[in-house]
Structure 1
Amino acid sequence: MNMELEMEMKKKTCIAMVPCPGHGHLIPLLEFAKRFLLHHRDDFHVTFLIPTLGPPSPSTIAIINNLPSNIDFTFLPPVNVQDLHIQTDHPVPQMVLTVRHTLPSLKDALASLTSRTNLVALVLDVFSLEALHLAKELNISSYLAFASGAATLSFTLSFPKFDESFSSEFEFQPEFLDLERTMDVPGCDYASFKVKDLPDPVLFRRSGEIYTLFLSVCQKASLVDGIIVNTFNDLEPEAMRALHNGSSSRSVYAVGPIVAQPNQNQDEKIDECIAWLNHQPSKSVLYICFGSGGTLSQEQVNEIAFGLELSGHKFLWVVRVPNKIPNSGYVIGQKEDPIQYLPPGFVERTKEQGLVVPSWAPQIEILAHGSTGGFLSHCGWNSTLESIVHGVPMIAWPLFAEQRMNAILLTDVLRVAVRPQGEEDGVENREEIAKVVKRIMDHGNEEGLEMRKRTQELSYAAAAALTENGSSTKALSSLAHELLNKNL
C-alpha cells in the first residue's frame, strides 16, 4: 500500500467489508460501498477483505481494478476446496466453510487495519457471519449487509423460532414434512408463504450439515449491531415496518435498490448483444437468464427452446450447460459449449427470432435497452431489483435459495410477474411456456399491459428512493452519522 493511501486512511473513518465467495455476493457489497462513498467520500474509506476458493475470475479482477480510490481490497489466501470436506453440491456449506477456514488470515488483516487506521466497523455478508466474533474481539461495530429483500430478512431473523416449531412438530424424513403448511413471517401477512416456498436449506432438514449451517447463520444475524438491507420502503413497506418494530436495539437501513451500473468498457459480448437489440422493435424481446449460478435439466432446456419457438416472440437467451442440480453453476465450471445442448436445428430455425448467448450476457445493458420487453428470471434478488429499476415485467421461474419467496412477492403482491403453471415431473412443458411468454409479451394483452404499468410505477419509486431527499439516501446518511459517532 502506498504512503498516500496510508495517510488518507488515517484521516478517515475506515470500514472493513467481508463478502462471502461468489460473484453474486461480492457485487452487491461493492455497489453498496460505491453508493455509500458517493454521498460520504470525504469522511470514509472502505477496505474489502475477500475470501477465495481459488484465483479470482477475470471479470472479478476487472471490477476490482476499476474501483474508486477510497476503496481498496485484499484477496485473502485461497482455501483449498478439498480441505472443506463438503459432502454436498449445495453452495451454503461451501460459502460458510470457506469463510470459516479463512478466519486466521482475516483476523490478521483486521488486526493490521486496526493498528494503522480508524477502523470502526466490520460489514459482513450473510454467509460471512462466521467472522462476527472478530468484531467483538476488536471492539468495533458489526453490520450485516443483507443482499436480498426485507421479507427474506424478516424470515432469516425469525427462523430460529421456526426451528423450534420444526423440532417439535416435524419428523426428520422429508416425506413427513408438511410442505403445504403456511408459515407466518413477521411483516408479511400480505403473502402466503408455505414451507415449500422457504429458502431451500429449510427443506434439507435431513441433511444435517446444510440445515445446521443455515440455522447458525440465522442465529448470528440477530447478533449484529445493525443491518443494511437492499430494498426500498415503497417496495416492501410492511416488512420494513416489522423489521423496525422488532429491532429496538438494532438499526435497520433500507438503502436500495443497489444494482450494478452499466459497463463503460468495450466488450465483445456487450457489443454483440446491444447490436442485435438495436435492430429489434421496442419492447419486443424476452430476455431469459437464470443468474450467475442457476442451471436447468436437459429436459427443461428442451422445453424452453420449443416453448420459445412456439410463442413466436423475439428472445435473447443466456444458455448454460444443463445439470439436474439447479444451483450447480456456482460450484461447477462451464468448460463446455452450452449451445450444443440445445435441440438439433433450434438455433438455425430461430435465427431471425432470437439470439442465443453462451453462459453470460451483459444483463444491465440488456434490461436497460428499449427493445427489451420482458425478463424470464430465476428471481434472484439482484435480478429482481435490476428488472424493477428498468421497468421490465417478469416471468418468475425460481430455482433455489430464497427465490420462491421472491417469486410470490412479484406475482401475488406486487403483480409485476406471471408464473408458469402445470409442471409435470419437475418440468414445465413447452405449451405452458409459450402461453406465459404470450401473456407478458403480447402488446394487446391487458394483463401484460397492467404488469408493465405497475413495473414502471415501481421503477419511478425506486428512482425516487435514491434522490437527494429519498428514503434510501436518508438511510445512508443515518448510517454514516452512526458510524462517524463511533469514531469520536
Structure 2
Amino acid sequence: MAKPIHIAVVSIAAFSHQASIVGFCKRLVHLHHHFHVTCIFPTIDNPIPATLAMLQSLPPNINYTFLPPVHKQDLPQHASSVVLIQTAVSQSTPSFREAVRPLCSTTPLAAVVADPFATAALEIAKEFNMLSYIYFPTSAMTMSLLLHLPKLSQRGICEYKDREEAIQIPGCIPIPGHDLPSDFRDPAAHELILQCCKRLPLADGFLVNSFYEMQKDTVKTLQEHCRGSNNDAFVYLIGPIIQSSESKGSECVRWLEKQKPNSVLYVSFGSGATVSQKQLNELAFGLELSGQNFLWVLKAPNDSADGAYVVASNNDPLQFLPDGFLERTKGRGFVVTSWAPQTQILSHVSTGGFLTHCGWNSALESIVLGVPMVAWPLFAEQRMNAVMITEGLKVALRPKFNENGLAEREEIAKVVKRVMVGEEGNDIRGRIEKLKDAAADALKEDGSSTRALSQFGAQMENFRGQT
C-alpha cells in the first residue's frame, strides 16, 4: 500500500475560487487514493453559506478548517472586492501559518497548494520545507497575464485600459486594452495584485483549471517560460473541473421539461456579478423583444459590477423588474430569484444558449456541456475570457455597448436571436460540440488532464521520498 501523502490547500474568501479548488481536491484524491487533503479557508465575517453546503459532501480523505474571521468593518471602506479579499488574505496570513504548524508536526505535509491571490502561502511553505504550488481556477491565459504582469506593468500596461490597442500576452490571443481586468484601473487593487504576482516565481509548479487541447499554444509558452526562468517549475493543465449541481425538486427544471429542445436561453451572471438598474431594465426588455424562451437567475441590481461578490443583497429582486414584465413573458420566461442548479440546467436538452458573465467556472461549464454563449463580461478577468471565447474559440457572441456603457434592448434581442436561431448559432454549436468532446477526452483515464494530475502526484511522492 502506498504511503499516505498529506497536502494543504488554501483559497480566498470567494465562493467561485473555493468551489474550484475543492473540485480539484476531489479529483486529486479520486485519482490518488493515498492522498489526504486539508482545505484552509480565510473568512470575512462568516464562512460563505454556499461553501458550507458544498463541504457537506466531501470524501473522508478531505477535511477542512476555517481561519478566524476577518471582520468587514476592519477592512477598507468602499473598496473593490479585490481590495477587500486581498486585505483579508493578508490579515489571515499569521492564522494560516499557525494552522499549518500542527499539520507539519503530526502528519507531515508534502506541499501547500494556494490560490493565486494567496501567494503569501508560498513563503510559508518554504519556511516548513514543503513544495508549493499555485492552483489557478482561471484559464491559462490569466495565468500568463499574472506571471508576466510585473514586466507588463513596467511597460505601462494600465495606460492601455482606455485604448483599442491590443496587448500581447505571451502565448495568447491579443487583448484590447479596455478588455484587460477591470481591477487594473484601481491603483490600490492593481498594486495588491502586483504584489501577489511577484511571489509566483517561488512556486514549484502551477495547476490550471483548463485542458491542453483548448489552450495548447498558451501552455506551451508557459512551460517554456517556467523552464527558463522559474527554477524548472511544472505547469499542469488538470481541468476542466466543474461543479456538479442537481435539484430534483427544482421548479425551474420542471419548467425546462416542458420546453422544446435547444429553445431556452439560460441567463445568469454567476454568484457575485451584478448589473445596474438601467441595465437590468434593458436586459429585461431585450429578452422580451427577442421572442425567445428564457430562464433568468435574477439578482438585485447594483451600480458596482461586483456588488454581490463579497456580500449579497437581501432585497427581493423581483421588485426591480419593469412593470408588467412577468405577465407579458408568462409561459416563455421563467425567473429564479435564488440558487439555480446551473450544470443541471446547462446539460438539459431544452437549453440552447447561455448568457453569461464569462466567469471561468461558468465558461468552462458551458464548454463541457456544449452550450453556445452570449458573452457579457462584468469584472475581474471576465473581459479577457470574453475575448478568448468569442475571438479565439469562436463559441460565443458578444453584444455591443453604447457610449454610456449600456447594452440596449435592441442589441440584446439581436444577439440573443443570432445565437438561438441564426446560422451563426448553428456554427457556434458545431464548434462547441468539438470542444465538449475534447474536454471529455482530456478527463479520460489516458487523457491529457488525467496524465498531468498523475505527474503532479508523482512529484509529491518523489519529494516525500527524499525527505
* TM-score (norm: length of structure 1): 0.92
> Are residues 1:457 and 2:434 paired?
yes
CA distance in 1 between partners of 2:199 and 2:347 (Å):
37
Q: Does residue 466 of the first structure (1) align with residue 443 of the second (2)?
A: yes
The alignment of Structure 1 onto Structure 2 pairs a total of residues equal to 461
Specify the code of the residue in structure 1 equivalent to 2:7.
I
Distance 1:457 1:145 in 2: 26
Q: How does 1:215-230 map to 2 (within 5 A)?
A: 215-230=194-209
Structure 2 CA distance, aligned partners of 1:33 and 1:215? Answer: 27
Q: Which amino acid aligns with 1:244?
A: Q
Matching residue within 242, 251, 254 for 2:237: 254
Match of 1:291 in 2: 270
Instruction: Say whether 1:433 aligns with 2:412.
Output: yes
Contact kept in structure 2, 1:99 and 1:131, CA below 8 Å: no
Find the counterpart in structure 2 of residue 180 from structure 1: 164
Report the residue type matching 1:138 in the other structure.
F
Instruction: Give the match for residue 231 of structure 1.
Output: 210
Partner SS state of residue 226, structure 2: coil
Specify the alignment match of 1:4 in structure 2.
none
Residue 297 of structure 1 contacts residue 323 of structure 1 at CA under 8 Å; is this kept in 2?
A: yes
Amino acid at match of 1:480: G
Task: State the shift of 1:404 in Å.
Answer: 0.8
Q: Which moved more, 1:111-120 or 1:328-337?
A: 328-337
Partner of residue 83, structure 1: 74
Q: What's the CA shift string for 1:363-414, capped at 9, x where partnerless?
A: 1111011110000001110000000000000000011111111111111111
| Aligned with residue 60 of structure 2, among 57, 69, 76 | 69
Match of 2:35 in 1: 44
In the TM superposition, what is the alpha-carbon distance from 1:177 to its structure 2 partner? 5.9
Contact 2:161 / 2:178 at 8 angstroms: preserved in 1? no
RMSD: 1.7
Alpha-carbon distance in 2 for matches of 1:413, 1:367:
22
**AA aligned opposite 1:72:** N
Query: Once the 2 structures are TM-superposed, how far is the Cα of residue 11 of structure 1 from its aligned partner?
Result: 5.3
Q: Which of 2, 19, 37 is residue 27 of structure 1 equivalent to?
A: 19
Q: Please list, as runs of the form range in 1=range in 2, the aligned pairs for 1:42-441 lying within 5 A after superposition.
A: 43-84=34-75, 86-166=76-156, 170=159, 179-188=163-172, 191-204=173-186, 207=187, 209-248=188-227, 249-263=232-246, 268=249, 271-441=250-420
Take 2:411 and 2:306, find their aligned partners in 1: how far apart are those partners? 23
Deviation track 1:428-465 (CA, whole Å, cap 9, x = no partner) reads 110110000100111xx221101001011100000000
* Cα deviation, residue 267, structure 1: 6.5
**More displaced 10-residue stretch of structure 1: 193-202 or 406-415:** 193-202
- Write the deviation string for residues 97-116 of structure 1: whole angstroms up to 9, x where unpaired: 11111122211110000000
Q: Give the letter for the 2:85 counterpart.
A: M
8 Å Cα contact 1:96/1:130 also seen in 2: no
SS in 2 for 1:240: helix
Cα distance in 2 for partners of 1:192, 1:466 equals 29
Instruction: Tell me the distance in 2 between the aligned counterparts of 1:201 and 1:313.
Output: 34
Give 1:261 deviation, angstroms: 1.6
Residue 485 (structure 1) aligned with residue 467 (structure 2): no
Partner amino acid, structure 1, of 2:182: D
Distance 1:426 1:44 in 2: 48
Checking the alignment, whether the CA contact within 8 Å between 1:378 and 1:403 is kept in structure 2 is yes
Q: Any idea what the Cα deviations from partners look like across 1:37-87, whole Å, max 9, x if unmatched?
A: 11111x210001111112224332221121000000111111112222x14
Deviates more, 1:224-233 or 1:73-82: 73-82
* Deviation of 1:483 (Å): 0.6
Distance 2:182 2:239 in 1: 25
Q: Are the aligned partners of 1:89 and 1:328 in contact in 2 as well (CA < 8 Å)? A: no
- Structure 1 stretches of 4+ moved >6 Å: none
Asked whether the 8 Å contact 2:164–2:176 carries over to 1, the reply is yes
Give 1:253's aligned amino acid.
Answer: Y
Whether the 8 Å CA contact 2:15–2:50 is kept in 1: the answer is: no
State the TM-score, normalizing by the size of structure 2. 0.96
Percent identical pairs in the alignment equals 46
Q: Secondary structure at the match of 1:15?
A: strand
1:183 Cα deviation from its structure 2 partner: 1.1
User: Which residue among 419, 423, 439 is the counterpart of 1:446?
Assistant: 423
